[in-house]
Amino acid sequence: MRCPLCAGGTRPFAVVERTAYHRCGTCALVFLDPAHRLGREAERARYEQHENDPSDDRYRAFLERLDAPLAERLPAGAHGLDYGSGPGPTLSRMMEERGFRVACWDPFFAPDRDVLEGRYDFVTCSETAEHFFEPGAELRRVDALLRPGGWLGLMTRVLGPEVDFERWWYARDPTHVCFYAPETLAWIARWRGWSLERVGEDVALFRKESGREGRAACGTATDGDPAPERGS
């Protein structure tokens, strides 16, 4: 089985409650076996249970961990895209309150693909990347969406060495299918030619190099790029 991020070789990683996970030997991504993914309707039904209320102060405080450090790095009036905005877009509203313009895209709740034809100063993925079935393809698309010098603000729980995966609550959500180690985030930065800042336990800020156009948004993870060293 090939890694959905880098196409590297993988090994079995864990079986939890009869659910299998694999780990990539190249980029260290841990991912759910595709045979155990939810169907589209069951996945949507799960998301509709989320209580993402823009008026909830606790939820806003949670998102502030991404909102504040990203805003500090953006020019006034920057234009962004909330990629995977969910059923109750809140981060986009918070960024708009800071004076930024923000579009939303979500395959279930904001499926206007016209916004994917634009170019943006920043893209946010808040509690989104763990849901990607094909993270390599999604990140290539994000790269193509970003203007040179643009930022990707990524919030997701990181699978560090201290995490007991078999007891980890974050992995028990059936819609969470990809888990990123610190090494995975570093691999992504090298692959896309982005800089990387870890500004919190679950927040990473990537910056696209100024003057560099986005790479191809389709094909395998290594199309047009130097081939990564394969895992076993």
- Give me the residue spans of the domains in the chain: 10-208
- For residue 68, pLDDT beyond 50: yes
79 — pLDDT class (breaks 50, 70, 90): very high
CA–CA distances in Å: residue 50 to residues 99, 175, 196: 27, 12, 30
Helix axis angle, 135-145 to 182-192, nearest 10°: 50
CA 49, 50, 51, 57: dihedral to nearest 10 degrees? 170
- For residue 11, pLDDT beyond 90: yes
pLDDT, tens digit (0-9, with 9 covering 90-100), for 17-36 = 999 999 999 999 999 999 99
Query: Is 155:125 a contact under the CB 8 Å cutoff?
Result: yes
**Main-chain dihedrals φ then ψ at residue 165, nearest 5 degrees:** -60, -40
- For residue 212, pLDDT beyond 70: no
- For residue 156, pLDDT beyond 60: yes
Compute CA 122 distance to the chain's CA centroid, rounded to the nearest angstrom. 13
Residue 229, SS3 per DSSP: coil
Average pLDDT for 128-151: 98
Compute CA 73 distance to the chain's CA centroid, rounded to the nearest angstrom. 19
- CATH for 10-208, among 1.10.10.60, 3.40.50.300, 3.40.50.150, 3.90.1490.10? 3.40.50.150
158 — pLDDT class (breaks 50, 70, 90): very high
- For residue 230, pLDDT beyond 50: no
Query: What is the pTM for the complete model shown?
Result: 0.90
**Main-chain dihedrals φ then ψ at residue 115, nearest 5 degrees:** -70, -20
